[in-house]
Amino acid sequence: MQTLLQDFRFSLRQLRKSPGFTLTAILSLALGIGATVSVFSIIYSVLVNPWPYADANHIFQINFVDKSGDEDSWGLTGPQIRQLRQTHAVADVVAINNWNLTVTGKDFPEDVRGVYLTGNGLQFLGVPAMLGRYFVASDAPDGQDPQPVAVLSYKFWQRHYNGDPAVMGKTIELVHKSYTILGILPPRFTWYDGDVFLPLKIEQALRAFAQVHPRRSSRNRILSKV
Query: What residue spans of 89-216 are helical by DSSP H?
Result: 121-125, 154-161
pLDDT, position 80: 82
Task: Compare 213 and 36 and report the one with higher pLDDT.
Answer: 36
What is the SS3 assignment for 76?
A: strand
Task: Compare 197 and 30 and report the one with higher pLDDT.
Answer: 197
pLDDT, position 74: 62
Residues 36-79 have pLDDT tens digits of 766 655 554 444 556 678 877 788 887 777 777 776 656 777 78
pLDDT, position 67: 76
pLDDT, position 49: 52
Indicate the pTM of the whole model. Answer: 0.70
Count of positions (residues) in the chain: 226
Is residue 117 a contact partner of residue 96, using CB atoms and an 8 Å limit? yes
pLDDT at 129 over 70: yes
pLDDT, position 223: 26
Q: Return the percentage of the chain with pLDDT > 70, whole number.
A: 74
How far is Cα 149 from Cα 94, in angstroms, rounded to an integer? 18
Residues 141-165 have pLDDT tens digits of 887 899 999 999 999 999 999 999 9
Give bridge partners of residue 76 from the DSSP assignment. Answer: 206
pLDDT, position 216: 37
Mean pLDDT lowest among 67-71, 96-100, 121-125, 147-151: 67-71
Distances (CA, A) of 52 to 87, 145, 186: 27, 30, 10
